[in-house]
Amino acid sequence: MLDGRFRFEGFVAGPSNRLAVSAARAVAEAPGKVYHPLFIYAEPGLGKTHLLAALGFHASQVDPTLTVAYRSSEDYVEQLRFASQRGDLNAWRREWEVIGLLLLDDVQFLDGEAEAQAELLRLIDQAQGRGFQVVLASDRPPADLDGLDQRLLSRMSGGLIADIAAPEIETRLGILRLWRSARTLDLDDAALDELAGHEVGNVRELLGVFNRLVAQRSLEPGTPAAGAAKVVVAQARGERAAPDEFESFLNELAAVVTSSVEQWRVRLASTVARWAGEGYNTQSLERFLDGTEPPDLDAVEAHFAVAVNHLRDLEQEAARLDPRLAGVPVFRDPGRLDEARSIVMRALAAYDPPPAPAPHLTIRVFSSGARNQLALRAAGEVIALPGSRYNPLYIHGPRSSGKTHLSHAIANSLLARDGGAWTVAVVDGAALGDELIEALRTGSVERWRMRYRAADAIIVDNVQRIGGSDRLQDEFFHLFNTFIESGRQVVLTADTPPPQLTAVAARLQSRFEAGLVVEIGRVSERERVARLTPVPDGAEAAAPTIDAWFDDVIEPDVPRPAIKEPSSPLDSFFLDPEKVVTNWPGLDGRVIEDPR
């Protein structure tokens, strides 16, 4: 539909559009006789549609019998498509036979519409034969129209091509005066001159500035119009400044920041942000940011990551042992790794304590003699000052010499310290290896480590049995060092002195020797008899024991630890299953054993 408001009288001609206006007038007054087709192109907002409508209106005024059709390209394509789907294409074509003037707007939208292009080509060709006028409008010249058939482009270029440029100052002033008179506004020429001086890309922009001035004047009717116009123009200039002015500013700043900040700080800050985002205390990283020299970033970040991973494992283990420990802040602070480890070890000790000594193997029932005096004295020192005097205490001797008994006895004495608060791990070297294999199989090596590391002292019986497994020796090496470095007591027993532990790594041998190495000699026949002697009870205990008697007779000058008052009624003799028969056989089955 033609918009009747748009007429030539309302279209201000100027240098920027004079050719288009003249051509439009000529076509309106003699359709199909001067320019066929007429092709008008212009940027949006410069009056294409206005000019088409004015042309159509004027043509219908000149020749009222003329049938004028105005179509946007979208409408044209849509109607054609509808007719085609309806199977009524011929009827649709017949409608155009009565049309004298076709005004087709925005032909750039015919891009890709092959059927519509073909129909338009047919119309233009027919029109040339019967005085039918086609006027086309687009936002670009034919040469720039993509997706249009070459034959159609050729036809479009075959008439007159006229463009409309952005209005220059004279045209802008003419437009402004036209608007002023149309709206009977109290705007002096100076104000219009001020507005006209504002370069615009299209007429709509000029209308926006004009409307803003009108609105401004309605708010402050007493102020000079020219001054208000100047402000309005200034604002419009500011708003019309390059739309990417701010983005451009940002881009340049980004380049400056990138080149100015020290990249190692950027990287470290990024690492800090990442870990802080995961809830970890990053103070240990942040302190590097306060420095002036870059640290070894790879090492710093790797160290932190390792600590975090360790904390995660610890927290997981802690939560398994005691759900209340999940989320404890210490597990988010790599600077408190030792503390976190200690918490888990305590939880583990409470949940799954390390193997304890046999309770009956005490110092009290340990048979002393010349062969074990040094070991016994060393044991006394260790019990009195664990971790500080002889660490490690290495006891070696042949089988059945009492090493196991003495090591368990030390453990039992340590257990009694501080009101029974101590945890002492006592384990055989072979059992230690078995446990590690099981831990490896079940993926619980860390737990296995912590179980032992939680102890206040560790005693490994038959330490020679850790030989043969490199992994076990590695683990024991770290375990051993942990105890020694933290001042906790280590007691080891073996069948040979350290240098003869051929299956044990040299680094361990040397560490075993760094403490005190004592030997326990083979059990003599005399001692064996003494071991079988019951400890007297009650009043009988006051009398000299057979042990003491033997010692005094045979080695009167050797000092011995004082014999404690026994609290148990039985000697080790009665604890030895080989020596005690509880179910006596019948008379016929009795034999008289050799009393040895």
Partner 1 sequence: MPVVNYASREITCKIVYYGPGRSGKTSNLQYIHRRVPVERRGEMMSLATHGDRTLFFDFLPLDLGTISGFTTRFQLYTVPGQVYYRSTRRLVLQGADGVVFVADSQRRQMDENVESLRDLHEALAEHGVSARDVPLVLQYNKQDLPAELVCLPDEMDRLLNFRAVPSFGADALGGHGVFETLRRASELVLRRLSAPATAVR
- Which parts of this chain interact with partner 1 (CB under 8 A)? 231, 234-235, 237-239, 241, 245-246, 248-250, 252-254, 256-258, 260-262, 265-266, 268-270, 272-273, 282, 286, 289
Q: How far apart are CA 172 and CA 177, in angstroms?
A: 9
Residue number with CB closer to partner 1 (271 or 423) = 271
Least distance from C-beta 237 to partner 1, angstroms? 4
CB of 274 to partner 1, least distance (A): 11
Distance (Å, whole) CA 339 – CA 332: 11
Mapping DSSP onto H, E and C, the string for 410-427 reads HHHHHHCHHHHCCCEEEE
Q: Rounded to the nearest whole angstrom, what is the least distance from the CB of residue 250 to partner 1 in the complex?
A: 6
Structural element, H or E, at residue 287: helix 283-289
Task: Please state the separation of Cα 338 from the chain's center in Å.
Answer: 26
Nearer to partner 1, 62 or 253 (CB): 253
CB 393 within 8 A of CB 498: no
Q: How far is the CB of 158 from partner 1 (least distance, A)?
A: 46
Q: State which residue, 269 or 570, has the beta carbon closest to partner 1.
A: 269
User: Residue with structure tokens 């010692």?
Assistant: 551
Identify which of 513, 516, 510, 454 has the alpha carbon closest to the alpha carbon of residue 479. 454
Q: How far is the CB of 230 from partner 1 (least distance, A)?
A: 8
CB of 229 to partner 1, least distance (A): 13
Nearer CB in complex with partner 1: 21/209: 209
Q: How far apart are CA 523 and CA 367, in angstroms?
A: 10
- Least distance in Å: CB of 278 to partner 1? 15
Q: Would you say 233 or 361 has its CB closer to partner 1? A: 233
Measured from the CB atom, the residue of 74 and 244 that comes closer to partner 1 is 244
Amino acid (one-letter) located at 220: E
Strand 424-428, strand 101-105: pairing: unpaired
Element (H, E) at 135: strand 133-138
Minimum distance, C-beta of residue 239 to partner 1, in the bound complex (Å): 6
Which long-range contacts link 330-335 to residues 24+ away (Cβ below 8 Å)? 332/279, 332/280, 332/281, 333/280, 333/281, 334/280, 334/281, 334/284, 334/304, 334/307, 334/308, 335/281, 335/283, 335/284
Report d(CA 362, CA 551) in Å as an integer: 21
- Cβ proximity to partner 1, 82 vs 246, nearer residue: 246
Q: What is the DSSP letter of 487?
A: T
Q: Hey, which residues does 534 pair with through a beta bridge?
A: none
Q: How near is the Cβ of 265 to partner 1 at its closest, in Å?
A: 5
Q: Measured from the CB atom, is 240 or 560 closer to partner 1?
A: 240
Cβ-based nearer residue to partner 1, 235 or 388: 235
